[in-house]
Every structure is written in C-alpha cells, then in structure tokens.
A and B are shown apart, each in its own frame.
Chain A
Amino acid sequence: MKLKKIFTNARVIIVFIAIILAVVAIFPNFSNDGVAIRSIKPNSAAGISGIQNPKPTTAPMQREVIKAINNKPVKTVADYYKFVSALKPNMTLQLKTNKGIYKLTAREKTEIIVLNETITKFVNETIEANETINGELKQVNKTITKAIQVPKTETIGLGIVEDIGLEVYEAPKTNVRKGLDLQGGVRILLKPEKKLSEKDMEFLLAGMKERLNVYGLTDIVIREAGDLSGNQFILVEIAGGNDKDVESLRQQGKFEAKIEDDVVFSGGNDIKYVCRSADCAGIDPSSGCGQSDDRWICDFRFSITLSQEAAQIQAELTKTLEVVSSQSRNQYLSKKLTLYLDDQKVDELSIGADLKGKAVTDIQISGQGTGMTRQDAAFDALKNMKRLQTILITGSLPVKLEIIKTDSISPVLGEEFVRNALFVGLLSFIVVMLAVLVRYRRFVVAIPVIFTMIAEVIILLGVAALIGWNIDLAAIAGIIITVGTGVNDQIVISDEALRGQASAASGLKERIKRAFFIILSAYFTNVFAMFPLLFAGAGLLKGFALTTIIGISIGILITRPAFGDVMEILLKE
C-alpha cells in the first residue's frame, strides 16, 4: 500500500525519470573495444578515404571507433600501431569501424623539389568588365585564360610509407569525459623566442590562460619551466591530447588593421567588444560559400566595437582619402583597410564612402576558410573566426613561441585511482547506511537515504556527460561535497520527521516543511559561497565550484523533495 503510494508519487517518478535520462546520457558500454578516431589529417590516405573528421563537440560514445583492420580485430591502441607500423607503400588496408568500411591505400612519402627552370601554365580567371549591351553600360563577369610562368617541380618518392593521417585513442566506455588528472593527455614544451623578464613571463602565461578561457579549453595546465643552463620554457598539458589546440596558444597573435602603413587599431586594448553570438558572427549570409577551382571557400564575418581613441585615429586617416566609385553602384574610399595577423594579410576591407572622416566605433571584420567540401570549408572558416576573435579579445602575446617537443603522458591518477575511488565510495555508502541504521533503527529511513545518495551521483554524472565537462580531481571533490551535503540534508529531514512523532506537537507535513527551510537556507548559502569561485581564474576552483553548484542544485530540485515525500508516506501512521 505504502509502496504503491511511493511509486505513484510525482516527485519520486521525477527522480526515476532523471536517473533514466542520466544513464542514457552516460551511455555506458563496457564492451566497447577498439580505438576511437581523434582526428584526421586533411589530404592524407585516411582523409581521402571518406572517413569523417570528428567534431570536437561530438560526445565520446558517438565517435567513430575502428573495430578491425583487414578483418583482424583491433582492441587496443598498441594493436592499431602494430598494423600501421608494418605498412609498406601502396599496400591497401580495409578499416572496419562501427559506422562503415573504408578502403585506404598507403602512399609513399614524397618530396617536391623545385627545379631551376620554369614552365608555362594556363589558368582561368574571372574578371569584372564593363560592356555596352543595347546602348546601356552593364557590368558582366568574363572568364579569360591567362598564361603564367611557374617554376618546374619534380616529385620524388622516398621509399617509405607516408603517415596515413589517423590519430587514435582507446575507445571510451562511457560518455563521461575524463580530465587531465584521470586520462592523461599531451605535454608540450614551448620556448619563447627571446628571454623574458619575470614580469613579461607572467604576462605571457596570463595571456595564454586567457586565450584558453576564450577558446573554451579548460582542462589545461600551463606553467613556467627552465633547464639547468637557464633556458626558459613553457610547459602546456592538455587533457585528451589534441595538440592542434596548442596552435591557437602558440600564435603570438599580433593583430593589426592598417590603412596603407598606418595602424588604425590592433588586438587587445583598442577593442572594446567582440561579438560572438549567432546574430552578428558566423558564416557571412550575403556572400556565403563558393567554389573556386577544386576548392570551396566560405566567408565569415563578425562585428566588433572599437575604443573611442581607435575610432578617432580611423577618422583622421580616412579624412584625406578620396571617394571613388567602383564599377558597382556603391562608393568606396580610395584605400582599403587591411587586416594583418602575425604580419600576414588576413583580409582587405573596402571602406564605405559615408565613413570618410567619421569616428565610427562599430566595424565588421571578415575573413575566409577553405576546404575540399563545402562542409569542410565552413568548418575551417568558423575555426579561423574563433581564432581571430580570441586574438582580438585577448591581444597579442609578448613573444613568439616555438614548439620544442610534444609527448603523450599518462595521467597522474590512473586506472588504479579510479578503481580505488569507486571502492572507497562504495564503502562510504555502506558506512553511512550503517550509521543511519544505528541512529534511527529503521530501514524505512536508511534505505531511502542510501538510494538518494546513489541517485544523486548518477544524475550528476549524467549532467556532466550531457554538457561535456571533464571529470577531474576538482570535480571529484565536488561530487564528494554533493553527496555529503545530501546526507546532511536527509538527516535533517529524518530528524525533524521523527522528532515530533513522540510529542506530536505539530503535524508531520508541517515538520518536513520546516526541515526544508533549513535545507534551502543552507543551499542558498552554499551556492552563493561557490559563486565567486566560478569566476576565479584557475581551472581548479572553477571545476570544483561548478560541480558543487550543479550537484547541490540537483539535490534541492530533484532528490530532496522526493525524499521528503517518501518520509511523509512511510512515517504516516
């Protein structure tokens, strides 16, 4: 009777639905053998075989996993590399993944040598031309063929096999992403171009960290290093290990917008605001993507707000420019605004005639990305946009950095740690149940307490899997505090519910309501205490605060109301 009441209670049903959703999000599959594909090098043997390059946002269990090569099963990363290292040029191999079968041909590694002679090459070029059609001046596109001289090249084979272009890792067993502490990653040693003072070094590290935050990579450790001979290094460790992420860190990111040789504004301080939301940043809807030769090109654009000083400089520089009418109807100024990133031209922007001598603060920045397919080009464009935005927000680093070496490292806390942590967690659950049993001498209290603890951990991990945040040491601390707070709250509810049973001074419902006053006050105090830690720079504090806030919120919103109702049903005479 009471059981039926419990399982038809709306709040209890919500807990069960949450648990089911969490398990779906975690998607555990402990027999998921094989090696998952981390990334594919463009134009490599793997790249042209049709395997899709996984997006970084893809959930771990949705990644393509190589199950067999040439019908022989691949279970570990070592298995995979055994196959790959035995490859000879022009050998074919059949990759069987969970999504399909691909045929790859290993290519010979080649080198292109530029010879000392030139050959004539014909290229097609599209130009805009004015033509008189029916007595009216019109602008038309014309294709002309041009002959150009290019140096003659020769391709020679080196007799060894070229990298097939796949980067793999052990196939994940759940959707919960493990952090640097638990999973390991790549360790990259960078060297600054010139020796830095302590203050500059601090500035450099701060700048790199800021970039990481903008770029959305949180599970990274950056620190200073040095060797016996006094060389300076910067050590970067990244969870999971996609060393391509380091590229955005490494770039000095000297961004300059120039009119001829005069700098109008540069990245960092000159820029007040960089738009990163969909309405003012993304693939340019007016020009979009187009095909040229065998490649696709996509344009991106986003708007920025300049500081008043930078706008003033722009006004000064544009005052003296002439207004010219181009072939189209729009009128532009005679010189263009050119964008440079690390001294390389990114894009050229025409300046509208109406902006002449005006101190405008809102400017649209554009650029492009290329790729073999339309999708690749769009992906590339968005990646370039993000990089440019990051640089504009954070400004440039004081020096260029050079990569000295890249290594994969095993985690500080390995498999052994996870197993031990699970064992200790289970043990603590049993101990808590015994303590509650000894205190209240009732299974009707002890069993719901334990059930709630387990439910909270599962739901919390489900949320972690869903929003894709890394479970590391800080997150584990957050899980412990969530469970601890949960037990505390349940003791408050049980005590309050059982206390009045003897005196019966007030109704059961009333007493549980009072317990919730205490629980809610403690909850809000805790959340507000964690809030400032979310904004403290280091990842450790952030991870801890985020996990704790989400964890205790799950408790207060989902599990605690159900526990209160269950107590009410079970203790009612």
Chain B
Amino acid sequence: MDNFVQIYKTQGSVMNINIFLSVIIIFIGIYGIVSKKDIILKLLSLGIFQSAIVILFVVIAYRGVSPVYMPEIAVYSDPLIHSFLLTVIVIGFANLALMLVFVMIIVNKYKTYNFDEIENIMNKK
C-alpha cells in the first residue's frame, strides 16, 4: 500500500516524460503520413500514429493499478479510458485491413505503389 501511494505521488514527473515521448511518436507517425510516397508506408505510419495515441491515453489513465477491483486499494487506473481504447484498437485493426485491401486493388490496377505515379496516371486519363 505504501509503495502504491509513493507511485501515486510521484506520477506527475513520470507522466510528463511519458506524454513527451508519446507526443514524439505521434509526430513520427504524422511525418510518415505526409512525407512518404509509398502507399503502404503511409498506412504503416497511420498505424504508428494510432498506436501512439493509444499510448498517450494509457499514460493519461495511468494510476499504478489496473482497474480490477481489489479490497484494500482505493485508486485505480481510469477504466473509462481503457474501455475507449479497447474500441480504438479493434476498429483500427479492422479498418487498417480494409485500407490494405483498397491498396491491393489500386496496386493491381496501376501496377505501382508510388503515390505520385498513380496521380500522374489518373491525370493523364
């Protein structure tokens, strides 16, 4: 119990470092989405972006103990944010798969991964 109280008191400093790191990963993801020319790498960057947001919200919810009730503990990690993240992960997985299917159709049609080349071909038509 004392150990837990200590974690709860010192979480302010820990939180800031973790938020800081997850924001860096978010920007790595956004940078990838904007700058990469390959469509699949764009989608992977989108995955990185999403995972970083999940990490950010896990950090925000963090209070040292997982939200499963135990008699002697008073403060838990926030269960509401965890339940939202459950939704985000499952839907993200399904949507990433759907987007990959669309990429497969595009690649099958234009025979290239490069975004600029695809735009050129579409403009010529």
A and B: bona fide binding partners: no
Give chain A's interface residues, CB within 8 Å of chain B: none
Give chain B's interface residues, CB within 8 Å of chain A: none
